[in-house]
Amino acid sequence: MMGLLTAFALFSFACARAFEDGMIAPVSPHKISLQSRSIPKGSSSFRRRALSPTSEPLADFFLGTDLQWFGNISVGTPPQELTVVFDTGSSTLEFASTLCGSVCPQKQFNPNLSSTFVDGGRTSSITFATGVGVDPVVGSNYKLTLRSAKDTVSVAGLSAPSISLFLITNQTPKFDIDPFSGIQGKTASFLGDFVQCFSHECRNGRYCPRNIRRPRETRTTSLYLTPKAVGNAELTLGGIDNSKFTGTPVFASLPSGSGSTWQLRSPKIFVNGQTTSVLNTARTIIFDSGTSNVLFPTATANAIYALISSDIKPNNDEPGTYGIACDLIDTLPATIDIGFTSQSGNNFNLTIPSSELNVGPFASNTSLCQTLINAFDGLDLVGGSLLKHYYSIWDVGNQRMGFAPAAGV
């Protein structure tokens, strides 16, 4: 539905609505637990240790346009390396395992080889209602079967024990094209617990006592999600990489009650410098690094497309999608500015340029190209098509998000 090229139906581990055990529900916060240890008397020196950010390079899954950014994690003892999408739109860790066998062509985790693995014994299934492919999601064609567990997990040199996770034990063939093994949810609950484990004492597999006081800035992660032509994408834990952006970041506060959801209030949307009564309406927009495109309610999607071209029409073969003749789409001006208010009270825009309008040809009609925005009532969400133009800062400690123009983009 949301997404990309021709006959390839790609899975967004990340997006929006999922069915768990057969019942539809939004992705719910899943708090990661870190095992704690008592701190000996006289250990106040823990608080004085120098802290510095650490980064993980990201690869870009690319089929005609950018899809997903993924990088390495390690699971178990001794560590087994896997690749996952780092996803601010979900809250759990799940990946292919040897319990899946030949059904999962991705690199698999073998729980029998980990001395710290604990089987949770609970099975569940998730059927995703949105993907990243141009092929439609039909019934249960995007379904994962999972088994709960816990084990030690390391990201970018930081290690935490007894992390809740899920082993993929079965999956439908739609996932076969994915080059990564799974997803690491990166909602605020994940960052609040995992990223706080950020000091020299907690690196390289050492335990991270919960009651050590850490500066708020250590509970920050940053993303440099670049187009493939630019490269050098990275995830930074515990701070920011000043070399990856230009200018000064602008910060906006998360709305009260956001919980684990990364979202900001937006007063209005402009298309090619224009707005309408529908677009000049306040809304709360979710930022999802695991989704490639944009989801807006039907009325908003229609209002945006009306300001771009009357030739953009819903594609009835795939509910929620829109398209236009491929020989016309690249000629259209389609700059989308989404307005926000900074912590200092100033208005600023995050811009999706015209180059993002073309998502690629539909499998059912290759002369028709899918456009950027999908209609999804009840949800306002932006993904990689916006984020790859900005260096984004996800600050749990100060309950805010920051943006600066991405260097080299």
DSSP 312-357: -EE-TTSTT-EEEEHHHHTT----EEEEEE-TTS-EEEEEE-GGGS
* Residue 389 in this model has a pLDDT that exceeds 80: yes
pLDDT, greater one: 263 or 5? 263
Q: At residue 20, does pLDDT exceed 50?
A: no
Least confidently predicted of 41-45, 153-157, 240-244, 371-375? 41-45
Alpha carbon distance 204, 202 (integer Å) = 7
Q: Write down the pLDDT at residue 212.
A: 40
Predicted confidence (pLDDT) at residue 372 exceeds the cutoff of 70: yes
| Secondary structure, 3-state, 13-81 | CCCCEEEECCEEEECCCCCCCCCCCCCCCCCHHHHHCCCCCEEEECEEEECCCEEEEEEEEEECCCCEE
CB atoms within 10 A of CB 401: 21
> pLDDT value at position 195?
57
137-159 average pLDDT score:
87
Q: According to the model, what pLDDT value does residue 18 have?
A: 38
pTM for this entry: 0.83
What percent of the chain is modeled with pLDDT above 70?
78
Confidence at 193, pLDDT banded by 50, 70, 90? low
Q: Kindly state the average pLDDT of the residues 38-43.
A: 33
Phi–psi pair at 167, nearest 5 degrees = -90, 130
Residue matched to tokens 């080889």: 113
For 45-99, how does the pLDDT look when each residue is reduced to its tens digit (9 = 90+)?
A: 333 333 578 899 999 988 778 888 999 999 999 999 999 999 998 888 999 999 9
CATH topology classification for 54-204: Cathepsin D, subunit A; domain 1 (2.40.70)
pLDDT in tens, 160-174: 888 899 999 999 998
More confident residue, 321 or 201: 321
Evaluate if residue 116 carries a pLDDT over 50: yes
User: Is it true that 54-204 and 245-405 share their CATH fold?
Assistant: yes
The band of 6, judged by pLDDT with boundaries at 50, 70 and 90, is very low
pLDDT at 39 over 80: no
User: According to the model, what pLDDT value does residue 114 have?
Assistant: 98
Instruction: Band the pLDDT of 138: cuts 50, 70, 90.
Output: low
Q: Does 336 have pLDDT greater than 70?
A: yes
Q: What is the pLDDT of residues 273-332, one digit of tens each?
A: 999 999 999 999 999 998 888 999 999 999 999 999 999 999 988 888 999 999 999 999
Contact 295, 376 (CB under 8 A): yes
In percent, the amount of the chain with pLDDT more than 90 equals 58
Mean pLDDT across 250-257: 95
Query: Residue 381: what pLDDT?
Result: 93
Q: Which CATH number fits domain 245-405: 3.30.390.50, 3.20.20.60, 3.30.565.10, 2.40.70.10?
A: 2.40.70.10
* Residues annotated catalytic, as ranges: 87, 288
Check residue 49 and give its pLDDT: 39
Q: Looking at the predicted structure, is the pLDDT value of residue 23 above 90? A: no
CA angle 170, 176, 179 (to 5 degrees): 115
- 7 — pLDDT class (breaks 50, 70, 90): very low
pLDDT at 214: 46
Q: Across residues 178-196, what is the average pLDDT?
A: 75
More confident residue, 155 or 363: 155
In the chain, what are the domain boundaries?
A: 54-204, 245-405
Q: How much is the mean pLDDT over the chain? A: 81
Q: Provide the total of helices (H) and of strands (E) in the chain, helices listed first.
A: 4, 28
Structure tokens of 316?
Answer: 């009835």
- Using the predicted structure, report yes or no on whether residue 254 has a pLDDT greater than 50: yes
Cα distance between residue 227 and residue 108, in whole Å: 28
pLDDT at 156: 87
Contact in structure between 218 and 394 (CB atoms under 8 Å): no
- The residue whose two tokens read 């001006």 is 333
Rounded Cα distance between 392 and 390, Å, is 6
How many degrees, rounded to 5, is the angle at CA 379 between CA 59 and CA 318? 75
3 state SS for 107-153: CCECHHHCCCCEEEEEEEEEEECCCCCCCCCCCCCCEEEEEEEEEEE
